[in-house]
Amino acid sequence: MPYKVTLIHGDGIGPEVTKATERVLEATGVKFHWDLAIAGEGAQDMFGTPLPDYVLDSIRKNKVALKGPITTPVGLGFRSVNVTLRQTLDLYACLRPCKIYPGVPTLYPEVDIVVVRENTEDLYAGIEFEIRSPEAAKLLNLLRDTRGKAVREDSGFSLKIISETGTRRIVKFALEYARANGRKKVTAVHKANIMKYSDGLFLSVAREVARDYSDIEFDDVIIDTLCMRLVRSPQQYDIFVLPNLYGDLISELCAGLVGGLGVAPGANIGDHIALFEPTHGSAPKYAGKNKVNPMAMMLSGAMMLRHLGEKEAADRLERAIAAVVAEGKKVTYDLRPNSYPPVGTSQVAEAVIEKMEEEESVE
Ligand code: NAD
């Protein structure tokens, strides 16, 4: 029986990297029934909304989705298709492995970090009060009455929401992931010295949850200290668990440590549904140019194969990607060694398929 998977091409570079990923996934021999769903700019034009209900229905039904990046317009309008998908489907764990494949351009010999980002709370909860709105005026009054602090009248507000429930489940997710994947240590990241009731809560709940996992080392670090240490010696870290905003920033930093966004995959996971997508965005300036690296999306596809229980196919796909990177002849501009000209997105798919076929013929 083929696996039924909701497939969202996205916009910008999304369709190119998704097509390349479809090709390599099908070349593993695993059978898929792609349930195509349109979200992002294409959906806005066709349905008048970037996230039509049928897309959510399809993901709820299939429980697994593979998604290309989607542009978030800056300023007014629909907040973000990506954030809305994660919140509406309660995909509370964002899993972003950042690992060096030999041959990528990097300053470091060895990095293998997994970022576990809380995906539904924090400053992404979307609870905001616009400057000079009636709600902002009420909040200003409340602050004046309860805190005695003068907050400027011309302020806008974005609330940082961190709950005990949200923290408990993401920390548990990180520790369970560590156990299931033979990892040794989980580090909670925070700024609890300044934000006592949000990050402070995150830290105290994380410590409490970690006490039930005596087989996994647990420690914590303040976010600013972490940034400095990551640049100096990222090798010392294993798994991070972080609130939403820090998770966004640190996963991008970690992507930079291991060769860039072109090789940084990801997954958004809830209790019943998983949606796989690269860390990178829609890079509109490269859209339609057959130029960008599809490997981040392909590696997200390998994560999906593992989620489906197709470990052997996932390993084979990952080995083929690693072999293409190591050889360095058919890689995109971002991974190009000086001696070879870069190839395009679709040629990378061909190179990866070739490597899988080569491996098969040796066996
Ligand atoms: P971006 O990740 O799209 O691109 C930043 C730069 O990274 C690009 O200009 C390019 O130089 C490089 N890059 C990105 N992907 C690459 C790839 N596959 N291969 C090679 N190089 C690559 O970030 P941005 O420009 O800040 O965001 C563009 C849009 O994407 C925004 O609207 C943003 O909100 C959205 N976005 C969407 C998602 C998502 O769909 N999950 C994630 C992040 C950003």
Residue-wise pLDDT for 317-345, tens only, equals 999 999 999 999 999 999 986 667 899 99
The Cα–Cα gap between 2 and 21 comes to 17
Indicate the pTM of the whole model. 0.95
Report the percent of the chain where pLDDT is more than 90.
88
**Catalytic residue (choose from 99, 172, 191, 330):** 191
Residue-wise pLDDT for 54-97, tens only, equals 999 999 999 999 999 999 877 656 778 998 999 999 999 999 99
Average pLDDT, whole number, for the chain?
Answer: 95
**Catalytic residue (choose from 45, 57, 219, 224):** 224
The Cα–Cα gap between 87 and 139 comes to 25
Measured in Å, residue 280 CA sits from the centre of ligand 1 at 4
Ligand 1: residue whose CA is nearest its atom 10: 283
Q: Confirm or reject: Cβ of 252 under 6 Å from ligand 1.
A: no
Ligand 1: residue whose CA is nearest its atom 16: 262
- Total residue count of the chain as it appears in this document: 363
Residue-wise pLDDT for 193-212, tens only, equals 999 999 999 999 999 999 99
- Longest alpha-carbon distance in the chain: 75
pLDDT the model gives residue 150: 78
The mean pLDDT of 112-124, rounded to a whole number, is 96
Name the residue with tokens 């299931």.
180
Cβ neighbours of residue 233 under 8 Å, at least 6 residues apart?
A: none
